[in-house]
Structure 1
Amino acid sequence: MKWLDLIHRWTGGLVGLVLGMMGLTGAILVHEDAWLGWTLPHAGDALNRDPAALAAVTTRLIGDGHGVQGIVYASDGFGLHQLRLSGGAGAYADQAGAIVTRWGSQWERPELWLFDLHHHLFTGDVGETVIGIAGLCAVLFVVTGTILWWRTRRTFAFRLWPKRMSRPAIVMQHRDLGIVMAPLLLLSAVTGTMMIFKPVAAIVMAPFSSPAQARAAMAPPKLSGGALAAHPDWAAMLATAHARFPDADFRTLTLPRKPGEPISFRMRRAAEWLPNGRTMLWFDAATGRLLAARDALALPRGAQVFNTAYPLHAAKVGGLAYRLVMTCSGLAMAMLGSFAVWSFWFRRPRLKPRRAV
C-alpha cells in the first residue's frame, strides 16, 4: 500500500494541474450551445429541415466568395450555420444565409480557443498526446484512489470543500470527494482517452466486435472524381442524400481540398447519439454523382460503441440533467487536480531535523 500511495501522490502532483484544467474547461464547454445562444442573434432559431431551403443557403454561402472549406449546419440546439474558412478563419450565418459574425482566428472566439485548450493544449498533436496521457493517469487515480480509500472508509465524511486549507484537511476532502465522484470521473477519463489512443478504444470495443473490423468499417473509402465544379448542384446532392436517409439531419459539408477528392456530407440519423452523426455520403465534386454512402446504424457493434464516446464525454445526450451531471464531474476533476498539486508542492509536511545523539 505504501508504494501505491506514493504512485498516487507523485503522479497527482505532476499531472494534477493538467487534469484540473481539463475538468474546468470541460465543465464550461458542456454548456457551449446555451451560452452561445445567449450571446449570438438567431442562435435560438428553430431548425429548418427542408432540403430545398438548405440547398439554397448552401449555394448562397459557398457562392459568396468567402473561401468556404466546409459548413457545420445548424442543429436543434444551435440555430446558426458555422462556416469553416481558410487560415483558421470562420463565421456564423443564420439559416437564411446572412452572416451574423465572423472571425479571423480562433482567438477571437472563446468557444474555439477553449475547445483547442481542452483537446490540444494549444499545441496540436503533441498537446493531444499529453491530454491522452493525463486521461490514462486519471483512470489510474480512480483505481488506486478507490483501493486507498477502502482502508479509511470508516472515517468517510463528504465535503465539497476542505474544512481548512491544511494538508490533512485537503487530503481528507480529496479522498472522500474522489470516491463519491469516482464513477463519473472514470466515465470522463475513459471516454476521453479512447478518442485519442486507439489501443484504449480497442479494449473498450473488443467485447462487442473485432476492433480491426470496426476500424475498417469506419475508414473513409478510397474514392476519386473530377475537380470541383464552378457551380455544384447542391439541390440535387441534398435531395439524393435525403432520399437515401429520410430520417437524418444534415450536419456537415466538407469541400475537397485538392482535385480528385469528393464532396462529403455527414448526416445524423434519428437513433444516433453523436451530434454530427457518422452517416456519410460522398459525391463526385465535378458531376455531383453519388459515389458511396455509409449508414452509421449498420456499422459493427464495436464501432457504434466507439461513436457513443464523444456524446457521453461531452454530454451531448440526456438533456440538461446529464449536462449538469457532467458539469459536476468536470468541476470535481478541477478541484481534485488543483488541490492535489497545491497540497503536494506547497503543503508538504516539513521533516523535523534529527537531534544529534
Structure 2
Amino acid sequence: MKNRQALLTIHRWLGLALALLLVVQGGTGIAMVFRDEIEPVLHSELRVAPGPVRLSMQRLFDTVEAAHPEASIARAEIPQSADQAVLFKLKRRADKAPILTAIDPYRGRIVRDGGLSTWPVEWLFVVHEQLLSGPVGEYVIGFEGIVLFIMSATGLWFWWPGRKRFKSGFRVMWRGSTDIRWRTLHRVVGAVAGPVLLVTALTGILMVWKEPLRGLVGAEGKPTPAVAEQAGRPLAPLDDLVARARADFGGTPLRQIRFSSGGRVVAVYLDSNRSIRPDGTAQYYFNGYDGALLATYIAGEQSTPSELIDWIYTVHTGLWGGWFGRSLLLAGGITLLGLGLTGPWLWYSRRSRRKPSRARSKPAHDMLS
C-alpha cells in the first residue's frame, strides 16, 4: 500500500511539474502524425497541375538559389504524389534561420516561400522536436520523454487491479460526482493508452540520444564525408548524380537530395526496396565537384544494430503500421493532451475539497486567534 501511494505521489508531482510541456508535446504530436496530408490542405498552392514533363532538379535548384542568394540550400524533398510541389529547405547564412520554398516541378514557378512562421505545420514540427531552441530544446524534449516514460510506468502500476479484478480496472463511474467521474476516466484512459505512451516516450528518448546509442551498441553511423572548397570550380549537375545513383541501385523513386560540407557533398536519397522499413532509403554520397562516389548507406543492408536504430523514427511516428500505426499515434497524442489537462485539474479539485475539511477540523481556539 505504501509503495502504491509513493508511486502515485511521484506520478502526480511529475505530471504537475511538466504538465505544460506534456500538453505542448501532445498537441504538436497530433499535427505531426498526418503532417504530409495536412500541409497541402492548409496551403492549396502546394497542389500543382501535373505537366507532360518534369523539369530537371538542377533547374529547380538554380531557381530557388537565385531567389535566395542570402541562403544555402540544405535539402530538397520530393513528394510521392505527382501533383505536389517540391519543397526546398534553406538556411540563411547570417543567422541560420530556416526558409522553406515550394516550387512547381513542371513549370519552375515558386508557389510558396517564406520563413518558418509562414509554414504553421513546419513550425509545429520544430516546436515538437526542439521547442524552437535548437540542441538545448532537443535535450529538454529528451528529459520530458524520460518523465513521460516514468509517469506512464507508474500510472500503469498504480492502476493495475490484479488479474481477478482486471475488468473492473476499465470501469468509469459515470453516475458519481464530477470529480469522481473525471478521476476514473483519467485513470482508465491513461491505462488504455499507457503502452502507446511508453513506446512513444522511449523512442523519443532514443531519438534525442541516437548517436551515443550507436556507439553503445556498436552500430555504424551514417556517412559524414567532407569535401574541401575548390574556388572557381563548378559543381556537377544534380541530375547526373541522381542518374548515377538510380542506375546503380535500380531506378527506385527519388525522395530527397541533401547538401552538406558547404554544398560540396550531395547525398541522393532513393527508396530502398531492400528493407521492410517503410521510410528506408538508399543513400548515395557524391563529391559535388567531380561526382566521385564517397559513401553509401543502404537500408536493409546494414548491421542488425544499425537497422534497429533506424527503426526508432519509424516506430515513433507510426509509419511502421501505415494508417493503423499512425492512427494509434494520433490517439496517443490526443490522450497525452487530455491527460496533461485533466491531471492538474484533478489535483486542484482535490486540494479545493481538502481545504474546507481542514478548516472544520481546526480547534476552536485556533479559529479565534
Residue 175 (1) aligns with residue 195 (2)? no
In the other structure, the counterpart of 1:100 is 111
Report the Cα offset of residue 290 of structure 1. 1.6
Pairing partner for 1:356 from 333, 348, 363: 363
Instruction: Give the aligned residue type for 1:303.
Output: S
Report the Cα offset of residue 128 of structure 1. 1.5
Q: 1:2 to 1:256 in 2, by over 3 A?
A: closer
Residue 187 (1) aligns with residue 199 (2)? yes
What is the correspondence of 1:303-322 to structure 2 with a 5 Å cutoff?
Answer: 303-322=306-325
3-12 or 66-75: bigger deviation: 66-75
Instruction: Give the aligned residue type for 1:244.
Output: D
What is the correspondence of 1:141-180 to structure 2 with a 5 Å cutoff?
Answer: 141-151=151-161, 155-158=168-171, 166-180=178-192
Report the Cα offset of residue 225 of structure 1. 4.8
What is the correspondence of 1:73-92 to structure 2 with a 5 Å cutoff?
Answer: 73-76=77-80, 79-87=84-92, 88-92=98-102
Q: 1:279 to 1:79 in 2, by over 3 A?
A: same
Residue 236 (1) aligns with residue 240 (2)? yes
Q: 1:195 to 1:46 in 2, by over 3 A?
A: farther
The CA deviation string for residues 242-293 of structure 1, in whole angstroms up to 9 with x for no partner, is: 022215332222234538x522223331335363x45322211221222222
SS in 1 for 2:149: helix
Unaligned runs of 5+ in 1: none
1:274, 1:310 within 8 Å by CA — same for their partners in 2?
no
Report the Cα offset of residue 177 of structure 1. 0.9
Report the Cα offset of residue 11 of structure 1. 0.7
Report the Cα offset of residue 341 of structure 1. 2.0
Instruction: Give the aligned residue type for 1:63.
Output: D
Higher relative contact order (CA 8 A, sep 6+): 1
In the other structure, the counterpart of 2:138 is 128
Mapped partners of 1:190, 1:323: distance in 2:
17
Report the Cα offset of residue 151 of structure 1. 4.2
In the other structure, the counterpart of 1:71 is 75
Q: 1:236 to 1:278 in 2, by over 3 A?
A: same
SS in 2 for 1:326: helix
Q: 1:222 to 1:232 in 2, by over 3 A?
A: closer
Mapped partners of 1:164, 1:128: distance in 2:
42
Q: 1:220 to 1:139 in 2, by over 3 A?
A: same
Mapped partners of 1:326, 1:47: distance in 2:
33
Report the Cα offset of residue 82 of structure 1. 0.9
Q: 1:347 to 1:256 in 2, by over 3 A?
A: same
In the other structure, the counterpart of 2:277 is 273
Instruction: Give the aligned residue type for 1:177.
Output: V
Instruction: Give the aligned residue type for 1:182.
Output: G
Aligned residues: 340
Structure 2 length-normalised TM: 0.81
Report the Cα offset of residue 40 of structure 1. 3.7
228-237 or 85-94: bigger deviation: 228-237
Residue 334 (1) aligns with residue 337 (2)? yes
1:211, 1:302 within 8 Å by CA — same for their partners in 2?
no
Mapped partners of 1:327, 1:162: distance in 2:
25
Mapped partners of 1:82, 1:268: distance in 2:
17
2:46, 2:102 within 8 Å by CA — same for their partners in 1?
no
SS in 2 for 1:308: helix
Q: 1:11 to 1:166 in 2, by over 3 A?
A: farther
331-340 or 126-135: bigger deviation: 126-135
Mapped partners of 1:93, 1:162: distance in 2:
53
Mapped partners of 2:47, 2:324: distance in 1:
20
What is the correspondence of 1:278-289 to structure 2 with a 5 Å cutoff?
Answer: 278-289=281-292
Mapped partners of 1:21, 1:13: distance in 2:
14
1:120, 1:131 within 8 Å by CA — same for their partners in 2?
yes
1:81, 1:93 within 8 Å by CA — same for their partners in 2?
yes
Instruction: Give the aligned residue type for 2:111.
Output: V
Larger Rg: 1 or 2?
A: 2
Report the Cα offset of residue 146 of structure 1. 1.4
Instruction: Give the aligned residue type for 1:84.
Output: K
Report the Cα offset of residue 7 of structure 1. 0.6
